[in-house]
Amino acid sequence: MSRIPIAIFVDRFAPGGTQRQMIELLRRLDRRRFRVHPVCFHTEGTWFKQVAALDEPVAVFPIHGFRRPGTALQLLSFSRWCRTNNIAVLQTCEVYSNIFGLPAGMLASTPLRIGSRRGFVEPPGLQRLQRRAYSAAHRIVANSQAAAERLRVEGIADSKIQVIPNGIDPALFHVHEYSARPRRIAMVACLREEKRIDVLVTAASRILSRYPDAEFLIAGDGTCRDALVAQARELGVFGRFQFLGHRDDVPAVLAQADVFVLPSRSEASPNSVIEAMAAGLPVVASNVGGIPELVTEGQTGRLVPPGNPEALASALLDLLDHPGRAAEFGRNGRERIARTYSFDRMVEQFESLYLSELATKQGATLPEEVV
């Protein structure tokens, strides 16, 4: 039975929200319809072995920047690989794979080229390159309405944009049960500047003045870890923070918490918020990007201005002071996630996009079984 060859291009398979979404897409695409090829730039990501264990080998095209010698040759090599493997659908998933992969796919005359917009934090130079690369795409997938609106602001035609929300497996997350133990506030994120964990560290002093035994669980690692530890020590709150590092058992971390917090200055559609809501936790998060599409003020959590420790502390204290309200927000959030955000639904929408777009392309042929 003939299958549609599709390439899913991720920068690298390191821990992160986009990577988790795309690994699930790679795993769950219907093998009766698609022959799925993973593609990346580097093999050192800690999740690379998961992808390498799938049915098709990972195609690797190493680059170390767009101005480095050899990048153009790698682009040509990837283009030849697309032709050799008769790739019918090229899906690029991150900034570098957009910039590198979409022009290469156009050079290879790949019938369907789909880019992505999954975040807002890119240096201006990369933003310009990405906007140019989008011209080689037939469609661009945004993971939130906020990301779609950013594409429109950048001049991308609305007809070219498709919104497909992130997915989750709700069965992995268990509803939180409130108890008399010390209150725990959890955050799951890469420890990068745009996550503004420093705002939470500052807000902790006020929270601890009312709940001196409160605990802050920070799951994730990144470049800001040392600075955050130093800040917590300086403010005298380090003893109440647990910096857990990268965790593969996020559901277990969330099961220990009473409230989830995300004080980011920029987000498209944060997986960590979806996971927290699936775990039945109320969410306190910045009112930025795609977060308001997930968190409804006064129903599933609280939205606060970014960069405002006082507002963040007030919202967290409100939920700690009123556990009944917090539990109601958590139930509402879990119900919303179960209705709207699942990996099955996400994959279904990607498959529908691939098949419908291929069917409209001149010269693109589909196997008889899926026409």
Hey, what domains does the chain have and what are their CATH numbers?
Answer: 4-167+342-370 (3.40.50.2000), 170-340 (3.40.50.2000)
Query: What integer best gives the mean pLDDT of the chain?
Result: 92
Per-residue pLDDT, 46: 81
Per-residue pLDDT, 44: 82
Which of 14-28, 152-166, 237-251 is the least confident region? 14-28
Which of 110-114, 250-254, 340-344, 364-368 is the least confident region? 364-368
Radius of gyration of the chain (CA): 22
Of residues 45 and 331, more confidently modeled: 331
Among residues 135, 7, 136, which one has the least CA distance to residue 60? 7
Per-residue pLDDT, 170: 83
Q: Which residue in this structure is represented by tokens 């897409």?
A: 25
Pairwise CA distance, residues 269 & 297, whole Å: 16
Do the beta carbons of residue 155 and residue 124 sit within 8 Å?
Answer: no
Residue 181 has pLDDT above 90, yes or no: no
Per-residue pLDDT, 367: 47
Which of 164-173, 177-186, 283-292 is the least confident region? 177-186
Residue 264 has pLDDT above 50, yes or no: yes
Give the model's confidence band at 363: pLDDT under 50 very low, under 70 low, under 90 confident, else very high.
low
Per-residue pLDDT, 38: 97
Do the beta carbons of residue 25 and residue 80 sit within 8 Å?
Answer: no
- Within 10 A of 155 (CB to CB), how many other CB atoms are there? 9
Do the beta carbons of residue 140 and residue 162 sit within 8 Å?
Answer: yes
At 141 the three-state DSSP class reads: strand
Share of the chain above pLDDT 90, in %: 81
Per-residue pLDDT averaged across 140-155, rounded? 94
Per-residue pLDDT, 371: 47
Pairwise CA distance, residues 356 & 371, whole Å: 10
Residue 259 has pLDDT above 60, yes or no: yes
Residue 221 has pLDDT above 70, yes or no: yes
Q: Hey, what amino acid is at 339? A: R
Q: What is the DSSP letter of 327?
A: H
pLDDT tens sequence across 95-137: 999 999 999 999 999 999 999 998 876 777 888 999 999 999 9
Among residues 128, 168, 351, which one has the least CA distance to residue 276? 168
Per-residue pLDDT averaged across 70-82, rounded? 95
Of residues 362 and 204, more confidently modeled: 204
Give the model's confidence band at 370: pLDDT under 50 very low, under 70 low, under 90 confident, else very high.
very low
Per-residue pLDDT, 178: 61
Residue 275 has pLDDT above 60, yes or no: yes
Do the beta carbons of residue 141 and residue 165 sit within 8 Å?
Answer: no
Among residues 252, 258, 297, 290, which one has the least CA distance to residue 274? 290
Per-residue pLDDT, 120: 76
Per-residue pLDDT, 193: 95
Q: Residue 335 corresponds to which tokens in the numbers above?
A: 């119900």
Residue 287 has pLDDT above 50, yes or no: yes
Alpha helices (runs of H) in the chain, residue ranges in sequence order: 17-28, 48-52, 71-84, 95-107, 124-134, 145-153, 197-210, 225-234, 250-254, 271-278, 291-294, 309-321, 323-340, 343-360
**Quick one: how far is CA 339 from the chain centroid?**
19
Residue 179 has pLDDT above 80, yes or no: no
pTM: 0.85
Per-residue pLDDT, 281: 96
